[in-house]
Structure 1
Amino acid sequence: MAAGDIPETDTPLFLATKFGCVEIAEEILKRYPQAVEHIDDKGRNILHIAIKFRRLSIFYHVTKGEVPVKRLVRKVDNEGNSILHAVGMKLKDDMPEKLRGPALELRDEMLWFERVKLITPAHFLEHRNDTKLTAKQFFSKENKELRTSATEWLKRTSEGCTVVAVLIATVAFAAAYTVPGGPNSQTGTPVLVNKPFFAIFTVTDVLSLSFALTSVVIFLSIVSSPFRLEDFKESLPNKLMFGFTFLFLSVSMMMFAFGSTVLLMIQKRESWTKVILYALSFLPVGIFALSYFPLYISLAETYKYLLKKLKGVIPWKLFSKVLSIPTYLFCCCCRNLCTNSLELPRSQPT
């Protein structure tokens, strides 16, 4: 943001929030707690600013309070926008670009909407601003272009991954009928069937085929999805992550199968030319896995927020008490069995 775009009425707290100076903002709130009550010339408070500029640390720091927060969450600006409307006011041109797809950006926006919705009073969920839009309608309108880009990106990614998964499944299926060492000319059984690495090759090849076909089904379900706005929060990222997981597992199993084949061929003293050819055929698949691994890590970040949310919902104390009941019964049974086994038999009367 340019210096000329900042209103002169901004306080140091608002400036620190806009530019992401978390330490300065927290120190101001620590020394001057009444600073959270300030309103700028557009009628926005600190929560409006923190949400608009996506300052998560400052947002959590402000919402830790009790009495001030009850007033802050009910504040609307001069245009009738609540703090939930502020989720759709992200300055797209000023946000730093990240190396991830638009679907993940839309997922983060949906998570922001969910965070703010948790602290928004129930009667403000249907509050309409001056343009007669609720917060959800305003969010959908402002992210319409991002949703279109996310839909196209998901389709392209899923179609590309489907092609790779089908290729892996084809290779794994063909490898099951062209086993290393070849079949016996008289019995038809594989020559190296008694070798230990042959069993590893068989198991990993079957797993590679199964994982590849599973990933194909998942990616096809993404392509045929209706791509509703709510699907970008959990459903579509989960499907994409599971698809990548099975695809990476398929690649890994193919790697083990390839390694077993190499070891079997070396034991049989075959030509090293075949080993090099197998390695070169596996190289494109390995490059694909490495290129998409950062995207897989970005997808895994979705579960950090979901796990925190799950910890607050599940009554862990009650759950631990319920689990302790069968453990206690099991210990009592074991103690009784040990006591009966150690008890000496009584002498019979003569």
Structure 2
Amino acid sequence: MSNKGKDTALHEAVRYRHSDVLKFLIKADPKFMYGENISGGTPLYMAAERGFSDLVQIIIENTSTSPAYHGLMGRTALHAAVISKDKVTTKMILEWKPALTKEVDEIGWSPLHCAAYLGCSPTIVRELLQKSDKSVPYLGIKDGNKTALHIAANRGHMKIVELLASYAPDCCEQVDDKGNNVFHFAALLQRGCFDTGNLLDNSWLGVRGVVNEKNGEGDTPFHLMSSYQIDDPMFICNRGVDKMAFNNQNFTAMDILSRAKDICGGRDYILRRLHRLKEANVGPLRWRKDIKEDDGSSEGKVKGKGEDNDIKKGSSDISEVIQRRGENHLIVAALIATVTFAAGFTLPGGYNVNEGTATLAKKSAFKAFVVMDTIAMVLSVSAIFIFIFMSWHEKEVFLNKQIIPGFVLTMLAMGAMVMAFMTGLYAVLPESSWLPIFTCIICCSLFVPFYFELNLFFKWYTMWLHFHINRACYWLWV
């Protein structure tokens, strides 16, 4: 018996998570097959979709016949558990019916494809691989024949890529309908997060030569990265990457960069990097263009004339951008120095009329205020010195080295200034009141975004430093 939506009593028990009712209904008739409702969901699918692992266990263990497990869009209960990122339910369903790993939905997606797309926990992906047939990692979806490895690479889920590559090494060589492999999909991610370069560290991917394979249009992954102007130093400086590969239009990566419009300085960064490596050059079409533009007065003008002009112009533009940033940081640092300097002579609580000393000098909060205010002023003045020194130089290498410590000093001075403000207020407000504690909580909450921003910055700086160390070792080696 069901309602207008074809929901049985078992469907309703699952929907409202009535485990006792669910167990009673199943034990009353364990052989009864509970089918799909009007939306296509079975009780087992609904329980898995909602993450009700206790209900999933009841249905699996108390049904004498195999319960129906299908749901929306041809998905199974395993699809639902993976999409919910529920480790317990996923493991339970896999132990009950491991064959569900091969089941695909209406658009050809297996549970492994869903896990790769959503970036599920490596535990879930590992369970799927261990319980699945060897052919599952090679399954392609209907739209373009993309495998789970392609999807994971395109979504930037490196841990899943590593798991798939180690479990099924041959799938690294599989391509979609357009001839794109795992490196092409990583490049199509269109963001410079060093994902493509990190793929080269994987032993299964590095030894198979897929990094230089061409797709249907003759583009290597490096061609695609150049098209999107992704500056990935670890990838670009890797010796296994062929910088002189030609696509079907007889363009090298440098040709593509030279013809493209600059996007946020990315093109010029990559061109200068390639120019320093001396492993890349322009193709025959670019040479033909340079020869036509040459007046014939000097043979040396023909070779790479446009390329050198682009590099020089790009270097000049980048230096100007860095100098402008330094000027903006200089204003911020100067404001912090002004405020903290003034606070040092207008102390909280005022001065003792007879002795001329601070009236709150014995309070711990006041002492903390003096220390933090002094730190903020010293840090901001140090940053000002760096930014003033930057204005006398135009070389990009020098500017890059100076703006980073100047930025860090400014940020630390800002944090010390907030701490000085907080301790100063605490020193003058009555200790018995709730107000000092409340103001401290508000001020401390500022350090949450402050921490995350600095953490991101230091991660980027660590990768930048790691790249330059690797490049130095590379030049020493060659």
User: What is the TM-score of this pair, normalised by structure 2?
Assistant: 0.42
Secondary structure of the residue aligned to 1:172 is: helix
Cα distance in 2, alignment partners of residues 20 and 104 from structure 1: 19
CA drift of 1:165 comes to 1.1
Residue 350 of structure 2 is matched in structure 1 by: 182
CA drift of 1:294 comes to 9.9
Q: Which runs of 5+ in 2 are unaligned?
A: 1-174, 189-195, 291-300
Residue deviations 1:52-95 (CA, integer Å, cap 9, x gap): 4357599669843xxxx8xx667899x99987x558526337xx
Please say which of residues 204-213 and 46-55 is displaced more in the overlay. 46-55
Residue deviations 1:88-117 (CA, integer Å, cap 9, x gap): 526337xxx6xxxx4677445534544x43
CA drift of 1:297 comes to 6.2
Residue deviations 1:222-281 (CA, integer Å, cap 9, x gap): 33322x4xx2xx4322222111101001101111111110110124789x79x98x999x
Query: Equivalent of 2:471, from 283, 305, 309?
Result: 309
The reply to whether residue 257 of structure 1 matches residue 447 of structure 2 is no
CA drift of 1:154 comes to 2.9
Residue 236 of structure 1 is matched in structure 2 by: 399
Residue 327 of structure 1 is matched in structure 2 by: none
Q: When you count helix as a share of all residues, which structure comes out higher?
A: 1
Q: Is the 8 A contact 1:75 1:82 kept in 2?
A: yes
CA drift of 1:171 comes to 0.8
CA drift of 1:201 comes to 1.5
Query: Equivalent of 2:185, from 3, 21, 39?
Result: 21
Cα distance in 1, alignment partners of residues 237 and 318 from structure 2: 31
Cα distance in 1, alignment partners of residues 211 and 411 from structure 2: 51
Cα distance in 2, alignment partners of residues 49 and 34 from structure 1: 14
Cα distance in 1, alignment partners of residues 431 and 325 from structure 2: 42
Q: Percent identity?
A: 18
In the alignment of these two chains, the number of paired residues is 272
Residue deviations 1:206-237 (CA, integer Å, cap 9, x gap): 111111111112222333322x4xx2xx4322
Cα distance in 2, alignment partners of residues 197 and 58 from structure 1: 49
CA drift of 1:162 comes to 1.4
Cα distance in 1, alignment partners of residues 206 and 457 from structure 2: 38
Higher relative contact order (CA 8 A, sep 6+): 1
Query: Equivalent of 1:220, from 375, 384, 388?
Result: 388
Residue 261 of structure 2 is matched in structure 1 by: 92
Residue 368 of structure 2 is matched in structure 1 by: 200
The amino acid of 1:171's aligned partner reads V
Residue deviations 1:90-145 (CA, integer Å, cap 9, x gap): 6337xxx6xxxx4677445534544x43x56xxx89xx95533555x544422566
Residue 49 of structure 1 is matched in structure 2 by: 223
Please say which of residues 145-154 and 51-60 is displaced more in the overlay. 51-60
Cα distance in 1, alignment partners of residues 273 and 372 from structure 2: 38
- Measured on the aligned residues, the alpha-carbon RMSD in Å equals 5.6
User: What is the TM-score of this pair, normalised by structure 1?
Assistant: 0.54
The amino acid of 2:261's aligned partner reads K
Cα distance in 2, alignment partners of residues 218 and 198 from structure 1: 31
